[in-house]
Structure 1
């Protein structure tokens, strides 16, 4: 199996739906890769979602319905392989010979392949005759129709036609037929939404191929780190003025009360302190977010795979994605915390104005000790973990939402990057709202000389300004986050595309 482009399938002229779906059943039995995927990944995942307290008949029915849903997508994967084969100019006769060479070692396998190719409109008749002639006389049973046959097949997508089904020659039609299927009807019980679904008596062909996260190597994670460092350092450097205004609004709310908004605040700082003040703290910002990009993006990809593989339960997917974002952010905060403490002191402390990072570190070390750089770690963790959790979750799901509404946007790199940019902006605004109170407390803590504590700082803000005090600067921070997160994901995806790690999905496109 290999990678293939995503997109809704259009009807294929050369292959009937019955043929595609039954070939999928054959491959789940005889193709090693398909069988291993089904038994090791699909069946355990479905089993984990079942209610063990439910009656056995109901549990069996739900299990079968869930397996049929996955099988429908698998058949789309099979059809992708068939289309590629057809695009190479090869005929059904070529395909049957290839499959017989690969999977036709036993009489039962040859019988099943013959049954499958009888479902084509353009049959390889001579090759079918040759294949059937290789079967022993004891296998040549007259096809017998069973009314229970559709139900038998519906209970398990790996079931094949029993030995009561056998191709026979119909001289009037000049083709091979399977009389035992003459009255069988498609089943639809597994599909509430049949848009794009093609039904047959053997199951359904879904509208899209099976998608899964591809395995990652150490080199992949190194490229993620490089991409994350590039995206984070560039975007955070570009919005340093926004960050300065946001910090000053939180640190000196009375002074900037008249300014009110981001632009007015920037003009006030520029007028009273000089335009260079809007770049205060650029050194720790750059270094801190180099570290952030190097750790949080590869960390998220790593922990997401670890958690989803360890707990393959679809109902817990959102929780596990949140947990992956939180775990990666914890590691990122170890480096961001001292950098953020230095940045806030350089922006909010008049005594440190104009000093470079080495001198600021020296001053902090002499006056308070370098340990104070980690005073705000607990609060930073609250802020950044909330921010990181929401950022990755909203980005992933909003991007999927956009692609579901307009699948054509996934077909070109340019439109994919546009969706990344828009999704990043939405993720940034949402994350800002959720994490704003912790950000306000952190700014006040780092503004103070010496040590401060989370709860007492929060109580102080509440006593001075009430609940609204925790959301001081939310407008400017939302603008900041929308700019920075949209740019971050955009540059991250650009860099991944350049380095060859853009698409992390693997499509089960069966090699035929």
Structure 2
């Protein structure tokens, strides 16, 4: 198993553990209507039903996003080497490497990771939006397979792939641009660590800012109930996302209909609702992810170059 796959998997799992509580708030902000309250019931803990809600929906991302992050970094590294054969170590790029090639390699990595990100995002989103404490990631995953099969796991896959491709292009581009801007700093281990943390955090904010309207539409799209469910089985906060048809089941809207309906009912600002909390989460999570990834890659490189002592 390649070192960048392992480093990507571990750093992705660490990021999910750190950022899940803020991600839950972000998803619920994106999905709610302007006249709805985000807070839980009076018996709850603020925005969460119980203290265990802090990790609600984390199981799917820890399993899926770890693999997603691993696939992302592997695809990015391989794509960058293909676009620029002079690249030897993608974690320590020469200043002559084109930022456009870095963006394209990041976009390729984002597109490759869609295979995992689409079902992971769907399960995470629907789990986080449920106020029922008996609903887990596994429950949601199992119900999707039972009702719609494997194809159902890729509901909202097109907009997810566009979001990931554009977003991860800016992710790697902004991280490298930030590192080059801070190249005048000393190369001491402490300064290097601070540089990685800062650039990782900045890259996370820029990434989400570049695709946040797409993410809002994706969240609302994936928050829609299954076609097989009747309106009476759908929670109120999800039922109000869609105008019911004359039948007992709500009509499923596509991405353009979701965007148009959101703009007409809540204005342009709806596409940036939750960006503040998302930016805070993005800085913390991506600072940690890049720090873990670069540290692991350095350890793997050190181990591979260390002399082997024969017995």
Q: Same fold (TM over 0.5)?
A: yes
Quick check: 1:342 aligned with 2:123? yes
Q: CA RMSD in A?
A: 2.6
Correspondence for 2:178: 398
Pair 426,356 (structure 1): closer, same or farther in 2 beyond 3 Å: same
Q: Determine the C-alpha separation between the residues in 2 that align with 1:416 and 1:297.
A: 21
**Alignment equivalent of 1:494, drawn from 276, 295, 308:** 295
Q: Determine the C-alpha separation between the residues in 2 that align with 1:256 and 1:243.
A: 19
Output aligned runs, 1:131-150, within 5 Å: none
Pairwise CA distance, 1:402: 0.2
**Alignment equivalent of 1:389, drawn from 148, 165, 169:** 169
Quick check: 1:440 aligned with 2:216? yes
Quick check: 1:269 aligned with 2:47? yes
Pairwise CA distance, 1:500: 2.1
Pair 392,240 (structure 1): closer, same or farther in 2 beyond 3 Å: same
> 2:61 touches 2:121 (CA, 8 Å); kept in 1?
yes
Pair 457,501 (structure 1): closer, same or farther in 2 beyond 3 Å: farther
Residues 451-488 of structure 1: per-residue CA shift (max 9 Å, x gap): 54211111111112121111110101111111111111
Pairwise CA distance, 1:413: 2.8
Provide structure 2 residue ranges, at least 5 long, that are not aligned to the other structure: 87-94, 227-251, 304-311
Bigger radius of gyration: 1
Partner secondary structure for residue 239 of structure 1: helix
> 1:380 touches 1:442 (CA, 8 Å); kept in 2?
yes
Correspondence for 2:235: none
Q: Determine the C-alpha separation between the residues in 2 that align with 1:279 and 1:253.
A: 24
Pair 316,294 (structure 1): closer, same or farther in 2 beyond 3 Å: closer
Output aligned runs, 1:275-314, within 5 Å: 275-309=51-85
Q: Determine the C-alpha separation between the residues in 1 that align with 2:272 and 2:52.
A: 27
Pairwise CA distance, 1:253: 4.0
Pairwise CA distance, 1:344: 0.6
Q: Determine the C-alpha separation between the residues in 2 that align with 1:484 and 1:367.
A: 34
> 1:349 touches 1:447 (CA, 8 Å); kept in 2?
no
Q: Determine the C-alpha separation between the residues in 1 that align with 2:46 and 2:150.
A: 32
> 2:174 touches 2:202 (CA, 8 Å); kept in 1?
yes
Partner secondary structure for residue 268 of structure 1: coil
Quick check: 1:481 aligned with 2:282? yes
Q: Determine the C-alpha separation between the residues in 2 that align with 1:302 and 1:413.
A: 28
Q: Determine the C-alpha separation between the residues in 1 that align with 2:302 and 2:168.
A: 22
Tell me the number of residue pairs that the alignment of Structure 1 and Structure 2 aligns.
268
> 1:292 touches 1:336 (CA, 8 Å); kept in 2?
yes
Q: Determine the C-alpha separation between the residues in 2 that align with 1:337 and 1:244.
A: 17
Q: Determine the C-alpha separation between the residues in 2 that align with 1:498 and 1:309.
A: 24
> 2:38 touches 2:47 (CA, 8 Å); kept in 1?
no
**Alignment equivalent of 1:354, drawn from 118, 125, 134:** 134
Provide structure 1 residue ranges, at least 5 long, that are not aligned to the other structure: 1-218, 260-265, 503-512
Pairwise CA distance, 1:296: 0.8
Pair 416,316 (structure 1): closer, same or farther in 2 beyond 3 Å: closer
> 1:223 touches 1:501 (CA, 8 Å); kept in 2?
no
> 2:34 touches 2:266 (CA, 8 Å); kept in 1?
no
Pair 437,389 (structure 1): closer, same or farther in 2 beyond 3 Å: same
Partner secondary structure for residue 225 of structure 2: coil
Partner secondary structure for residue 374 of structure 1: coil
Pairwise CA distance, 1:283: 0.9
Correspondence for 1:463: 264
Calculate the TM-score normalised by the size of structure 2.
0.79
Partner secondary structure for residue 500 of structure 1: helix
Output aligned runs, 1:192-271, within 5 Å: 222-254=2-34, 268-270=46-48
Pair 293,316 (structure 1): closer, same or farther in 2 beyond 3 Å: closer
Q: Determine the C-alpha separation between the residues in 1 that align with 2:50 and 2:80.
A: 45
Pairwise CA distance, 1:320: 1.6
